[in-house]
Homo-oligomer: A and B are copies of this chain.
Amino acid sequence: MAPGAFVLSDDAAVIAPRAGHDLVVTTDAIVAGVDFFADDPPATIAKKALRVNLSDLAAKGAEPFAYLLVLSLPSVDAQWLAELARGLAQDQETFALSLLGGDMSATPGPLSITVTAFGHVPEGTMIRRAGAVPGDGVFVTGTIGDSGGGLAARKGVLLERYLVPEPPVAFGPSLRGLASAAIDVSDGLLADLGHIAQASGVRIAVEAERIPRSDALRALWGDTTGAIVRAATCGDDYQIAFTAPLAKEDAMTGAGVRVTRIGRVEQGLGVLLLDAQGHEIAVPRKGFAHF
């Protein structure tokens, strides 16, 4: 049963504390037919399961170091498991992670993978959702909408973004002392900024034309307002959206990650999308709703 590269045989694992650091933990499940397709390559499924969690940790300013894995499988195929293990092993190497343990069990339903990921931050420095204040700028890493475009088109480099997210893990720690609030973009840019707005008790105004979109996505969906709204609501981006004092904008060019200022934090509540004239664009559905 043990597919070589990983052993799920122990029930529990021990983590020795790192002096002067807090432990940050996050957990997220991916389910076949919802977050991936059951016939996706097992190695890419493995990487998505890990990276949706690494994305959470990066948005908290944490450096990932370990994870636990729960596999719920409708059946066991040794070849499939070996490929899954290969994907996990590759990302363990890429992100310097250890597999601490986990569990494998049968399910009558679709395949699902739950990962619990662990990271460190220097004591008291975890970035929360609740720190945004009026006057802050609103920023986002990378480009937005690629994964949604890839899912819709099922082809090319954009599809790769859906299958294997590229969260800016190395950039996460540079958010400490810089971001006033942060979140990873999974439900959709506007929906996730809404979580910051709600937790912080502020209003977030986003300028539609500032939202960074890749050339491939613009070629696919065009440059209409509708295309921008679609990118800002399709989700599965695994980039980091954050707020920070405008005075700190120059400090954001580290780690080779593209950072774009897309709006500002105001008094009030909620999230607004604005056109070039500063008028509100109606957005009936700000992101992915789980139900």
Q: Which residues on A are within 8 Å of B, measured CB to CB? A: 1, 9-18, 21-29, 31, 33-35, 56-57, 59-60, 62, 68-70, 72-73, 75-76, 100-110, 112, 114, 116, 118, 121, 123, 126, 129, 183-184, 195, 290-291
Contacts and interface: CB of A to CB of B under 8 A. Distances in A.
- Please indicate which of the listed interface residues A12, A68, A112 has the most CB atoms of chain B within 10 Å of its own CB: A12
Contacts of A21: 17
A275 B84 CA distance: 44
Given A34-B105, A109-B107, A23 B29 contact: no
Given A12-B62, A75-B291, A26 B108 contact: no
Contacts of A31: 72, 105-109
A72 B112 contact: yes
Nearest to A12: B26
Nearest to A112: B72
A25 B11 contact: no
A126 B33 contact: no
A76 to B, nearest CB: 5
A290 B68 contact: no
Given A17-B22, A22-B17, A60-B12, A103 B72 contact: no
A10 B27 CA distance: 10
Contacts of A184: 11
16 contacts: A12-B24, A12-B56, A12-B59, A12-B62, A14-B25, A15-B25, A16-B22, A16-B23, A25-B101, A29-B70, A29-B114, A31-B72, A35-B105, A108-B109, A109-B112, A112-B112
Nearest to A66: B25
A27 B129 contact: no
A129 B10 CA distance: 8
Given A14-B126, A76-B291, A107-B112, 15 more contacts: A9-B195, A11-B56, A12-B59, A13-B26, A15-B24, A17-B21, A26-B68, A27-B69, A28-B103, A31-B109, A34-B106, A68-B116, A70-B114, A108-B109, A108-B110
A28 B17 CA distance: 23
Nearest to A108: B33
Question: Top 3 closest A-B pairs, CB basis?
Answer: A109-B109, A17-B17, A12-B26
Chain B CB count within 10 A is highest, among A106, A114, A121, for: A114
B15 A101 contact: no
Given A11-B59, A60-B12, A29 B103 contact: yes
Contact of A103 (B24, B27, B109, B291): B27
